[in-house]
Amino acid sequence: MMQLLSEIFSYGFLVRAMVVGCLVALCASLLGVSLVLKRYSMIGDGLSHVGFGALSLAMALNMAPLAVAIPVVVVAAFLLLRLRENGKLRGDSAIALISSAALAAGVMVTSLSSGLNADVYSYMFGSILSMGEGDVILSLVLAGVVLVLFILFYNKIFAITFDESFARATGTRSSLYSLLIALLTALTIVIGMRIMGTMLISGLIIFPALTAMCLCRSFKGVVLCAAAVSVFCFLGGMILSYAIATPAGASVVMVNVGAYFLFWLMGKLRARTRI
Amino acid sequence: MSAALIQCEDLALGYETGIAIRHLTFTVHAGDYLCLVGENGSGKSTLVKGLLGLLPPLSGKIQFFGLSPREIGYLPQQNPVQKDFPASVQEVVLSGCLGRRGVLPFYTRGDKARAAENMELLGVAGLARASYRDLSGGQQQRVLLARALCATSKLLLLDEPVTGLDPLATAELYAIIKDLNRAQGITIIMVSHDVSCALHDATMVLHLSDKGMAFFGTAEEYHRSPISQPFLRCDCVGHHNSHVCDASCGGKSQ
């Protein structure tokens, strides 16, 4: 085991992927708690498909991937919220609409320009080779911003997640905080999807929150537990992926699935012993 | 009569799609227990939004005396998200103090003491560490009342507080609300479908219809007025304040 770890840490690109991934996993789990509880679980999925469309476009136009993807995904996040708030489209259908449209557009653009090649495959399912120095700095900044904002607005995020009408009645500008959460989610997804892949990044948002909810009974407990589970599962998944040579994103998600069942079982057992 | 808290004058409220309420004139005095009744679509929810300051008046005005709209202790209708929400009772009650925190990010010791006091008052102090999702419907409503009291010491605005409660829990909640009004001197505005039962404790009634304000006056006047008759079919009128009556009415309203 120790030998395996020292092997992993001797590769610069693996260390970079570990650092970026842990930070993204941390941010995703914090945001995920609020998103899952507000019945916004699928927003991660929708936004990552938009991200795929944007990355394909950037590749076709020979532009820097993040410079295109970040603004496009942020705009999509705002749009999804607006659609839901106006009540013109139900939240889940709006997400399904936008995500399949963006995925189709991405596939069209790539097949017209370069054809579906290895680069596209790595966008779909993630690649740890894609992390450069710039990504490390960007993810450090992002993680810092998400953490600081999350701690500062923790009580407000709890209030609008639990009961938006009460929060608004006592003067909390709930739409502002919803926008903030959407913005941070968009950034987290764009950075995380390159390791995890378009198809799998939403697992990083949903699983830790649901896992924590099996056992924890307070909001603070859920948040702390989700953060710990997320980082732990990411590291576990990376080691697994190195050991048995499987794609990183899929391995991380599978470790999360394992953790979910473990917590679910523990929750069931605890409920039984209490009776 | 005691001092006015809220005064509405020729108030009209509505949305882009049209006017929901017009020509509404009434006054809420400190210590009142006002019951707000009316059919579906008569604008009860719209008036609640107006009172909370979430919907600006189209014409007319709402005036507050010694009270800001943020200081209204609001008990919203239950929303489905809350049913399986992992939050401790203390976290929920404490979030009632959020309004008075303004831009400051964290709760003070004073806020925590206030939350503890209100949990004590509503008999949920023993549940402080319990999870909200594990509570019964009646306990959940008491927790939300404690939260509302953290936001106010003057006025509670309750939106259909007994929806979904069993008859016993309904009677219990009405008793608590009555006690808050009579013993703690907190002004109550309650939106209700359950007209006859709600009226036992109310001192004032505001009846909205789709044509506008149909009635505003004391509860006794309302009982005598022809407009109340279709809503008072419940047999228990006359058995004022008996728990048996509350229970039977609660059962019928389900």
pLDDT tens digits, residue range B70-128? 778 888 888 777 878 899 998 999 988 887 777 777 888 888 888 888 888 888 888 88
CB-closest option in B74, B105, B148 to A153: B105
pLDDT at A272: 82
- Interface A–B counts its CB contacts (< 8 A) at 91
Percent of chain A, pLDDT > 90?
24
Domain match, B143 and B183 both: no
Would the CB atoms of A166 and B101 count as touching at under 8 Å? no
Task: Find out whether A146 and A23 touch, Cβ atoms under 8 Å.
Answer: no
Domain end marker among B153, B188, B203:
B153
Domain match, B163 and B55 both: yes
Domain match, B198 and B220 both: yes
**B243 or B44: which carries more pLDDT confidence?**
B44
Domain match, B171 and B146 both: no
Closest CA to A232 of A11, A22, A10, A71: A22
Looking at the complex, report in whole angstroms how far the Cα of residue B119 sits from the nearest Cα belonging to chain A: 17
| Amino acid letter, residue B8 | C
Backbone angles phi, psi at B67, to 5 degrees: -160, 135
CB-closest option in A152, A159, A217 to B98: A159
Residues whose CB is less than 8 angstroms from the CB of residue A40 and which lie 6 or more positions away in sequence, other chains included:
A34, A91
Structurally, how many domains does chain B consist of? Answer: 2
Domain end marker among B132, B153, B174:
B153
Domain extent, residue B39, equals 31-59+159-254
Would the CB atoms of B86 and A38 count as touching at under 8 Å? no
- On whether residue B10 sits in a domain, the answer given is no
Find residues 112-151 of chain B whose CB sits inside 8 Å of chain A: 129-131, 133-134, 144, 147-148, 151
Domain match, B254 and B165 both: yes
Task: Look at the block and give the residue holding tokens 């279709």.
Answer: B230
CB-closest option in B76, B82, B105 to A155: B105
- On whether residue B193 sits in a domain, the answer given is yes
Closest CA to B147 of B118, B169, B124, B121: B118
Looking at the complex, report in whole angstroms how far the Cα of residue B224 sits from the nearest Cα belonging to chain A: 35
Residues B116-147 pLDDT 10s: 888 888 888 888 888 898 888 888 888 998 99
Residues A63-116 pLDDT 10s: 777 788 888 999 988 888 777 766 666 667 778 888 889 989 888 888 887 766
Domain match, B186 and B227 both: yes
CB-closest option in B52, B86, B96 to A217: B86
- On whether residue B138 sits in a domain, the answer given is yes
Angstrom distance (rounded) from CA B74 to CA A169: 7
Looking at the complex, report in whole angstroms how far the Cα of residue A257 sits from the nearest Cα belonging to chain B: 21
Domain end marker among B130, B153, B176:
B153
Structurally, how many domains does chain A consist of? Answer: 1
Which CATH number belongs to the domain containing residue A15 in this structure? 1.10.3470.10
Instruction: Say whether residue B85 is in contact with chain A using an 8 A CB cutoff.
Output: yes
- On whether residue B213 sits in a domain, the answer given is yes
Angstrom distance (rounded) from CA A197 to CA A89: 28
Domain match, B97 and B164 both: no
